[in-house]
């Protein structure tokens, strides 16, 4: 869980560092940044939820944890695509 938390934290910091560039962005880039920021925040929430579930009886919550992990992976992929769109804009 630690590596995932580290990656999500790094991602959140990188997205935050783009805020300073907002004034020089086009309208479509600002919209893309807002989407990336929202997705980054969602990943942070999902990661915290997963961590909290793991601290409990993970055997009992195994199927839910698997679903959460798959959801995190899908959202990470969507975030990657949005970030690439921001870069290409």
DSSP state letters, 33-62:
HHHHHHHHHHHHHHHHHHHHHHHS-TTTTH
Residue 58: its pLDDT value, please? 67
The whole-number average pLDDT for the span 47-56 is 80
Per-residue pLDDT band at 74 (split at 50, 70, 90): confident
Which domain does 51 fall in, by range? 2-88
Contact 67, 46 (CB under 8 A): no
Q: What is the pLDDT of residues 12-48, one digit of tens each?
A: 888 888 888 889 999 999 998 898 888 888 888 888 8
* pTM higher than 0.75: no
Please count the structural domains in the chain: 1
């Amino acid at each position: 869980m630690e590596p995932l938390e580290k990656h999500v934290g790094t991602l959140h910091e990188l997205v935050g560092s783009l805020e300073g560039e907002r004034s020089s962005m086009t309208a479509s880039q600002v919209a893309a940044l807002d989407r990336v920021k929202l997705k980054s925040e969602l990943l942070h929430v999902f990661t915290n939820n997963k961590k909290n579930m793991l601290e409990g009886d993970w055997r009992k919550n195994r199927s839910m944890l698997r679903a959460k992990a798959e959801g995190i992976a899908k959202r990470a992929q969507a975030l990657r695509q949005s970030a690439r769109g921001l870069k290409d804009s």
